[in-house]
Amino acid sequence: MILLASKSSGRLATLRAAGVEPLVRVSSIDEETVLGELIRGRRDAGLPAPSAAEQVQALARAKALDVMTSTDPQEAEVVVGCDSMLEIAGQVVGKPADAAQARERWRMMSGGTGTLHTGHFLVRTADGTTAEGVSSATIRFGSPSPAEVEAYIASGEPLWCAGAFTIDGLGGAFIEGIDGDPHGVVGISLPLLRRLLTALGVVWTDLWAPPPATKPVDDAH
């Protein structure tokens, strides 16, 4: 059993579609505080500003370690923390604060490309051993009309997504293509997660939920 330290419906749906039914417990970290400490630490050490990959990894780590403190090893073998950000036009962006910011994001993204980074941080509850990695994929955005952008923003979906878009919801029609792992774009990379779990001694197929006791009814008959 794994515990997902995230309230993301996309991550949960991705795991369930892959046969994994995790526990879910949302962390209580303040993301701005975590990133602020990361940026100050780098600056004080005379280092360049953290990259997008370093930022999502810091947030994923903070979420996993926060939830780890309230997780009994009998509940879950591994805690999984994730976070995603979009890198576009030299900027690193998370969820838009409001409709105006979502509108500006789509002005920047329309017809262009961006890179979606998703950090993964895993903690084995028995002894605190960790494994981590970042999944990155290039997104090729379509060019929705102004009316389509307004309708999309009015749906509310862009306001709770990193980069103000999804590929597995209403926004999917505005994405022309993806170069990289599509699961990572949704918020959790299945191949990366499997490799990290393997490093912690967890066999991926052991996490698959058991098949139903009875065969589903065939609606065709």
| Mean pLDDT score, 61-73 | 94
Helix axes 146-155, 99-109, angle to 10 degrees: 140
- Residue 44 pLDDT greater than 80, yes or no: yes
CA 80, distance to chain mean position in Å, is 11
- Give the tens place of pLDDT for each residue, 76-97: 999 999 999 999 988 888 889 8
| Mean pLDDT score, 33-61 | 94
Domains of the chain, earliest start first:
2-205 (3.90.950.10)
Residue entry with tokens 């999502």: 56
| Mean pLDDT score, 123-148 | 96
Residues 6+ apart with CB under 8 A from 203: 197
- Give the tens place of pLDDT for each residue, 9-19: 889 999 999 99
- Give the tens place of pLDDT for each residue, 137-166: 999 999 999 999 999 999 999 998 888 888
- Give the tens place of pLDDT for each residue, 156-202: 999 988 888 888 889 999 999 999 998 999 999 999 999 999 999 99
For residue 20, the 8-state DSSP code is B
Q: How far apart are CA 69 and CA 47, in angstroms?
A: 31
Catalogue the active-site residues. 83
Determine the pLDDT at residue 37: 94
Amino acid at 174: F
Q: 154 exposed, middle or buried (CB, 10 Å; 0-12, 13-18, 19+)?
A: exposed
Residues 6+ apart with CB under 8 A from 137: 115, 116, 178, 179, 180, 181, 182, 184, 185
Residues 6+ apart with CB under 8 A from 197: 2, 78, 122, 131, 203, 204, 207
For β-strands 78-88 and 23-24, DSSP reports them as unpaired
Terminal-to-terminal C-alpha distance of the chain: 37
Element (H, E) at 221: none
Mean pLDDT of the chain: 92
Q: How far apart are CA 203 and CA 77, in angstroms?
A: 11
pTM attached to this predicted model: 0.88
For β-strands 130-141 and 113-124, DSSP reports them as antiparallel
